[in-house]
Amino acid sequence: MGHRHSDPFRLSHPDLEKLNRGLDRRDFLKKTAMGFGAIALNGLLASHQAQGQSLEQQILDALPRIAPKAKRVVYLFMSGGPSQFETWDYKPELTKRMGQDLPDSIRKGQRLTGMSANQAILPVAASAYGFRQYGQSQTWVSDLLPYTAQVVDELCVIKSMFTEQINHDPAITFFQTGHQLPGRPSIGSWLSYGLGSENQNLPAFIVMVSKDASKDQPLYARLWGNGFLPSEHQGVQFRSSKDPVLFLSNPEGYDGKDRQEMLDYLKQLNQLQNESWGDPEVDARIAQYEMAFKMQTSVPEVMDVSDEPQEVFDLYGPNSRDKGSFAANCLLARKLLEKDVRFVQLYHQGWDHHDSLPKNIVNQCKQTDQATAALIMDLKRRGMLEDTLVIWGGEFGRTVYSQGKLSPTGYGRDHHPKCFSMWMAGAGVKAGTTFGQTDDFSYNIIKDPVHVHDFQATMLHLMGIDHEQLVYKYQGRRFRLTDVHGKLVKGILA
């Protein structure tokens, strides 16, 4: 390291001394107000520093252990609310009732959205696409998903999901954070906090958003936000542009050779700051700088697909060479999982089909079907499916009745929170099964309802965490991903 300055020079800098010495009235009050806590904390810190483990880590290590079936999760979030009628929930009876008004005995006075509440009639719309049974499990799959149908024996299809939210943003926020209002940590952040990062050169929680989807409903970065958890646990978004992670590469004209040294000194400054202020966000900042530095080499490496053979691109489908497409993101997701990234989340928008559903959903399925199935098979042949959990699903379902005018091939469907379909595959999940059942209108659940919190609890369980134990104290309350709810869905566990 030829360009290393001598330490005393840097450490005797007047700013640092001032930082060390300065303690005005306001500081004094702040520090003494922290009083007891700080003393106790110092004691604890002293004891764990000897162990080379953060206090947080030690507390987490002491959490009860459930044997984790899954080491990684890849969550394919189909944003907008895919219709269960054209994908997984086969309702042959509906063809006979095509165009009839939805019976009150089914709707039971349920409140509808403003988009269809004023319709004179709620005409039942059967799926415009056929279904067939596939695999040894003989699971019914829509003709729109010919590739996923070929891997259906790996899936556990849950037909009885339900949520409490009827509009996109609250529903997605509810799914991702366990609460309909923004501000709580996302699932991936909870997992990052609870389990840490297996690969110390990559973040534990990585997010990618398809660029090839229609952006009918927006996504916000807070959906992968850390909420009140320390900010190093927020999801890091990888983009398809030249810089996969914004502001990660060195600025032009800077050769980066003394980057390490610069960051070391910055860390010392931050630590001094930390000693005088005790703000946990300083710790987070230190961790983030360290991670960013490591990512300067690890990210370009993992994003580089040039050494993938043609056979892999063939598997993931024609779009897989198009950077930023869902297919390309699936391929990248596999690469990230191979690197032991804990939680990879892909978002694919465009499932919000209020009108012209039969036309629009074909394209959605085309964009996602093959790559999704390919991801599963690719994980399987590498021996990774047995400890990777794959999740596919949206934030809610869609109505059995048509929003707007119904014609045999032209109809739309409104939001429907009372039942929808998802699937899970891989680690710890009963492969080749279907769980739950809806009525003939796929309007109400008649067997084994699975609430969003139940889904979250089950997911954490598969990752080896008791959802009741993973808590974070904030504003005087111990918060959980599952709030005060959530039951383990034992029926889908292998």
Compare residues 315 and 400 and give the one whose CB is closer to another protein. Answer: 315
Cβ 470 to another protein, closest distance in Å?
A: 12
Sole binder of another protein in the list 80, 203, 230, 428 (CB under 8 A): 428
Compare residues 77 and 316 and give the one whose CB is closer to another protein. Answer: 316
State the binding string over 365-394 for another protein (x if CB under 8 A, else -).
Answer: -----x--xx--x--xxxx---x-------
- Short-list 79, 139, 187, 93, CA closest to 467: 187
Compare residues 4 and 382 and give the one whose CB is closer to another protein. Answer: 382
Q: Which two tokens stand for residue 434?
A: 């279907």
Report the 10 Å Cβ neighbour count for 65: 10
65 is a contact residue toward another protein (CB under 8 A): yes
Sole binder of another protein in the list 440, 469, 483, 485 (CB under 8 A): 469
51 is a contact residue toward another protein (CB under 8 A): yes
> E-strand spans in 79-153?
131-134, 139-142
Cβ 340 to another protein, closest distance in Å?
A: 5
- Of 49-57, 76-84, 110-118, 259-267, the segment contacting another protein by CB under 8 A is 49-57
129 is a contact residue toward another protein (CB under 8 A): yes
Compare residues 358 and 486 and give the one whose CB is closer to another protein. Answer: 358
Q: Is 210 helix (H, G, I), strand (E, B) or coil?
A: coil
User: Which amino acid, residue 419?
Assistant: C
Sole binder of another protein in the list 42, 49, 100, 409 (CB under 8 A): 409
358 is a contact residue toward another protein (CB under 8 A): yes
Sole binder of another protein in the list 7, 27, 198, 275 (CB under 8 A): 198
- Ordered alpha helix ranges (H), 309-351: 310-316, 326-338
Please give the angle made by the CA atoms of 413, 319 and 423, to the nearest 5 degrees: 45
Question: Beta strand pairing status for 131-134 and 139-142?
Answer: antiparallel
- Of 11-19, 179-187, 198-206, 265-273, the segment contacting another protein by CB under 8 A is 198-206
487 is a contact residue toward another protein (CB under 8 A): no
439 by Cβ neighbours in 10 Å (0-12 / 13-18 / 19+) ranks as middle
Q: Which two tokens stand for residue 44?
A: 């604890």
494 is a contact residue toward another protein (CB under 8 A): no
C-beta of residue 442 within 8 angstroms of C-beta of residue 93: no
200 is a contact residue toward another protein (CB under 8 A): yes
Distance in angstroms (rounded) separating the CA atoms of residues 88 and 157: 8
231 is a contact residue toward another protein (CB under 8 A): no
Distance in angstroms (rounded) separating the CA atoms of residues 263 and 256: 11
For 302, residues 6+ apart whose C-beta sits below 8 A from its C-beta are 202, 332, 335, 336, 339
318 is a contact residue toward another protein (CB under 8 A): no
46 is a contact residue toward another protein (CB under 8 A): no
Distance in angstroms (rounded) separating the CA atoms of residues 184 and 229: 8
150 is a contact residue toward another protein (CB under 8 A): yes
201 is a contact residue toward another protein (CB under 8 A): yes
Distance in angstroms (rounded) separating the CA atoms of residues 346 and 355: 25
Dihedrals phi, psi of 81, to nearest 5 degrees: 95, 80
Sole binder of another protein in the list 30, 106, 143, 491 (CB under 8 A): 143
Compare residues 55 and 263 and give the one whose CB is closer to another protein. Answer: 55
Compare residues 111 and 381 and give the one whose CB is closer to another protein. Answer: 381
User: How many residues sit in the footprint of another protein (CB under 8 A)?
Assistant: 49
Q: Tell me, what DSSP letter sits at residue 347? A: E
Distance in angstroms (rounded) separating the CA atoms of residues 106 and 139: 26
Sole binder of another protein in the list 464, 472, 482, 492 (CB under 8 A): 464
Q: Which two tokens stand for residue 460?
A: 């954490």
Cβ 281 to another protein, closest distance in Å?
A: 21
Compare residues 322 and 387 and give the one whose CB is closer to another protein. Answer: 387
User: Which residues are registered as beta bridge partners of 484?
Assistant: none
- Short-list 357, 448, 405, 365, CA closest to 160: 448
64 is a contact residue toward another protein (CB under 8 A): yes
**Interface residue list for another protein (CB under 8 A):** 44, 48, 51-53, 58-59, 61-62, 64-65, 67-69, 71, 128-130, 143-144, 146-147, 150, 195, 198-201, 315, 338-340, 358, 362, 370, 373-374, 377, 380-383, 387, 408-409, 428, 464, 466, 469
